[in-house]
Structure 1
Amino acid sequence: MKRVNSIRYGLWRVVLATMLAAGGALANEIPWRTVDGGASETSLGTTLVLQATIGQHDAGALSGASQSVIGGYWSPEPDAAPCTGDLDGDNQVSLTDLAILLSDFDCVGACAGDVDMDGDTDITDLALLLSLFDASCN
């Protein structure tokens, strides 16, 4: 009986030593790695736009046939400049904007027709809108 216990004890020591050695060897090791990113693809008529971001530098500009890829980090895009005179938000100064201004004429305070943002809708706003009339903001 003593010999059986001795063998079991010895076997457990070998198993424990093997587990500790294996565990210690893997503790400071990363067996794989990944660089994650995201992408989107849009099509504007005949133009294909591929947008992606990734966590490292990549190759410089690449091109072939009729396509090219320009790599690097993204910089934030500035907000689009407001379209002065476009009161309805359709990216053009049109009759609709003139109608909004005229319906709001002589308003004081937060006025929809306040083109120059001075707190009222007056002749200055009308003159500014007419000077920008039929302009496109695209």
Structure 2
Amino acid sequence: MVLQDWIIANKAEEMGLMVSMVGEVENLKIEKNIELSKYFIEKIPNFQKDYEDNMYEFAIGGIEAYLEEINADIQSIEYPVTGREVHLIPIGENIKLKVYIEDEEYGENRIEINSFMINHNTTKEDVDVLIEFIKEYLPF
């Protein structure tokens, strides 16, 4: 599942369907991508994209609690990870949060959350659901 998520995330980036949460420029952007990125940054202008050390486990614990709560049928995030992993976490029907994890082998235990995957039906209301997820489940 993790390798599959990596492939899907890369394909979404190529298609302009990966939206930045921190104003970083993706290779390709479609109009909806730009609109939703601006909307997210307007709502959470100082979003913390990196979680390290003790915040690392807290962030993973929050994501795992969410996945359990929604009875998600996806592979859980086990930590510590070995190497690097990408997980796409379903947030509502039209967004998947991209969670990039690396272990101490690459410097330190770290999670980076700086983008989300959209589809052609994603709206600002879907981004509001993502924002509620962040406020409830991630160190904020």
Specify the TM-score bucket, using the shorter chain as the normaliser.
under 0.3
Q: Which protein is richer in strand relative to its size? A: 2
Structure-1-length-normalised TM-score: 0.19
**Computing the radius of gyration over CA atoms, which structure comes out larger, 1 or 2?**
1
**Greater relative contact order (Cα < 8 A, sep 6+):** 2
Structure-2-length-normalised TM-score: 0.19
